[in-house]
Structure 1
């Protein structure tokens, strides 16, 4: 059974919730307090409930992970990834305002992997549609990453060599 060689995650509304908004709409400075992360206005940034177990699964299976985020505030996004304690999980990070096609061209170049060996999770259909044209298995995340969605995508990828677009 085949497994992906790289799993790529979007940030906003995919791996984390920024109190119902995008990270570039927050107000720095950011702070970590009692294992939680807040912006200046006390809006909490939190990983969705299943994200840690999903990242743990990838680590245990030796599947490389990456971030692809088109935020207008890449420094803020990188700081939040650090404050949430997950920076070390990702072999690659393409975090800048641009099309996801550019992110995936960079991921292909830096990883040496084919697009067909990647799975991508994102909450925006425009990104799913755009990236799927490259041959990347692209999965729509409607309410934050869940273990159910993640494992369903992995099973489909293993069974079919890829998972269909959702």
Structure 2
């Protein structure tokens, strides 16, 4: 009896810039960031927001029991980590030793999609930020890569 292919990914990885939030953290905002009332602001007092459905997406994946991680090529690592903390998303992050074939990766840059697809990661191109439909569609498509003829 052969092993059953996974129905769910072992890990969902999100790029940050223009995937979870609508800016480049190393260019469009000025770290460090602060809580100011209900908002997060940068050092210039500019309010920093994420894409609308991102908290709902992260909670959904957590409730599905799917670990979540962030990956970014940003040069502003401390600022990106600070935003993950201030948005309360650091609680979702996990480190795993999982194979690439068990991962889904969401990114707005085609070069990253191309590179990671080559090593077996199920990649999803993000055009205008992550939302629930994009994530749910990806979760439906994921098992099909193990059974390409499944409708």
Q: Could you state the TM-score of these two structures normalised by the residue count of structure 1? A: 0.80
Deviation at 1:131, TM superposition (A): 0.8
Match of 1:153 among 124, 135, 138: 138
Inter-partner Cα distance in structure 1 for 2:13 and 2:48: 20
Residue pair 1:37, 1:46 contacting (<8 A) in 2 also: yes
- Corresponding position of 2:106: 121
Higher strand share: 1
1:2 equivalent in alignment to 2:21: no
Deviation at 1:138, TM superposition (A): 0.6
Higher helix share: 1
- Corresponding position of 1:12: 17
Match of 1:90 among 87, 90, 93: 93
Inter-partner Cα distance in structure 2 for 1:55 and 1:114: 21
Alignment: residue pair count: 142
Inter-partner Cα distance in structure 1 for 2:142 and 2:131: 17
Task: Sort the Cα spacing of 1:162 and 1:30 in 2 relative to 1 into closer, same or farther, 3 A.
Answer: farther
1:133 equivalent in alignment to 2:135: no
Max radius of gyration: which structure? 2
Gapped regions of structure 2 (runs ≥ 5): 1-5
Gapped regions of structure 1 (runs ≥ 5): 93-110
